[in-house]
């Protein structure tokens, strides 16, 4: 559905995207992650025809955005939630967009209902909260009944209920065969929402895997309980292993359980619990994007 091949984008002396390649399959939710300044927004702007690449290309359904016969029927995009006339109502804003794209006006009330803004349709957008403007942006993206949604930080400004609504909505969209490519800094939410993630750092690809694979590879702590916890802690630290006591009375050890068990056995220290805790998407992300130590 999305193909990015050897994409490079330079701004004078700065390289925002550096020989980036990845693909996004149909019918899945793919998270697009990276630290601030990693090149995510630049990649999305090139993908949507808002910026020209220095080299390489990015396509949607096999075509560059400007080559799409009916762009809004192929891709709906949310890059920001501020491009509104504050004196227009939410319904009027969508009617203008629909008229410009040759979309029937009946579609306006349909998308307002989909994003649960029917009750605020007559209100001026200038009086909307940030979360409501985000929903209105999603409604605009849905006008052409696209098969692909490209969203940049769509949870920005949403309260917990709004975030849950967005999660359920995007899952439903993908469940109907749609494709979602979503950029976000909310890693906990991405771990619940995305099937897979594309992670970039300094404009380069550092990972493109399923969330399950990434969290499995992340360095999770090993939880260990022992009646001689202080002796074990000293033994672990002497062996160059990071470990710290927890409020639950266990030790959180940053090493595989096999290593912990071997050291305890060598020192004759009994263990009552030894559990490998699964890593998180946040831990995987931080490991992949960590800056080298000087």
Question: Mind listing the pLDDT tens digit for each residue in 115-163?
Answer: 999 999 999 999 998 889 989 999 999 999 999 999 998 887 788 888 8
Q: Which of 67, 56, 78 is nearest to 4 (CA)?
A: 56
| Average pLDDT over all residues of the chain | 91
- Tokens coding 158: 């949403």
219 confidence band (pLDDT: 50, 70, 90)? low
Q: What is the pTM of this model?
A: 0.80
Q: What are the distances in angstroms from CA 111 to CA 8, 126, 131, 140?
A: 36, 20, 16, 8
Question: Mind listing the pLDDT tens digit for each residue in 234-270?
Answer: 999 999 998 999 888 899 888 888 999 999 999 999 9
Question: Mind listing the pLDDT tens digit for each residue in 1-25?
Answer: 999 999 999 998 899 999 999 999 9
292 confidence band (pLDDT: 50, 70, 90)? low
Residue 29's beta-bridge partner residues? 180
Q: How far apart are CA 71 and CA 74, in angstroms?
A: 5
Within 10 Å of residue 186's Cβ, how many Cβ atoms?
17
User: What pLDDT sits at residue 162?
Assistant: 85
Which residue is listed with tokens 């399923």? 210
Angle between helix 130-142 and 160-175 (nearest 10): 10
Q: Are 151 and 167 in contact (CB under 8 A)?
A: no
Q: How far apart are CA 145 and CA 283, in angstroms?
A: 36
* CATH fold for the domain made of 2-210: Rossmann fold (3.40.50)
Outline which parts of the chain fall under CATH 3.30.70.
221-277
Question: Mind listing the pLDDT tens digit for each residue in 59-81?
Answer: 999 999 999 988 989 999 998 75
User: What pLDDT sits at residue 294?
Assistant: 54
CATH of domain 221-277: 3.30.70
Angle between helix 90-101 and 106-114 (nearest 10): 130
Outline which parts of the chain fall under CATH 3.40.50.300.
2-210
**Is residue 187 pLDDT above 70, yes or no?**
yes
Q: Which of 209, 205, 289 is nearest to 6 (CA)?
A: 205
Q: How far apart are CA 211 and CA 64, in angstroms?
A: 28
Q: How far apart are CA 205 and CA 195, in angstroms?
A: 18
């Amino acid at each position: 559905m999305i193909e990015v091949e050897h994409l490079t984008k330079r701004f004078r002396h700065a390289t925002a995207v550096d020989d980036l390649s990845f693909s996004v399959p149909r019918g899945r939710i793919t998270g697009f992650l990276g630290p601030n300044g990693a090149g995510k927004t630049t990649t999305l702007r090139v993908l949507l025809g808002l910026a020209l690449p220095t080299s390489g290309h990015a396509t949607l359904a096999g075509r560059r955005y400007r080559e799409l016969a009916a762009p809004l029927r192929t891709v709906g995009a949310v890059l920001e939630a501020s491009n509104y006339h504050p004196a227009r109502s939410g319904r009027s804003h969508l009617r203008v967009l629909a008229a410009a794209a040759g979309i029937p006006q009946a579609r306006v009330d349909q998308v307002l209902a989909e994003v649960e803004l029917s009750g605020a349709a007559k209100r001026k957008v200038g009086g909307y909260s940030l979360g409501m403007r985000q929903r209105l942006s999603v409604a605009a993206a849905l006008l052409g009944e696209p098969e692909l949604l490209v969203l940049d930080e769509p949870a920005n400004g949403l309260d917990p209920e709004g975030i849950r609504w967005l999660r359920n909505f995007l899952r439903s969209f993908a469940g109907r065969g749609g494709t979602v490519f979503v950029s976000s800094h909310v890693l906990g939410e991405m771990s619940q929402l995305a099937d897979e993630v594309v992670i970039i750092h300094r404009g380069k690809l550092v990972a493109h895997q399923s969330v399950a694979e990434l969290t499995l590879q992340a360095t999770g702590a090993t939880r260990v309980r022992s009646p001689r916890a202080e002796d074990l802690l000293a033994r672990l630290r002497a062996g160059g292993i990071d470990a710290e006591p927890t409020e639950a009375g266990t030790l959180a050890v940053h090493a595989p359980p096999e290593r912990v068990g071997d050291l305890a056995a060598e020192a004759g220290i009994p263990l009552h619990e030894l559990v490998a805790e699964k890593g998180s998407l946040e831990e995987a992300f931080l490991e992949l994007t960590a800056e080298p130590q000087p």
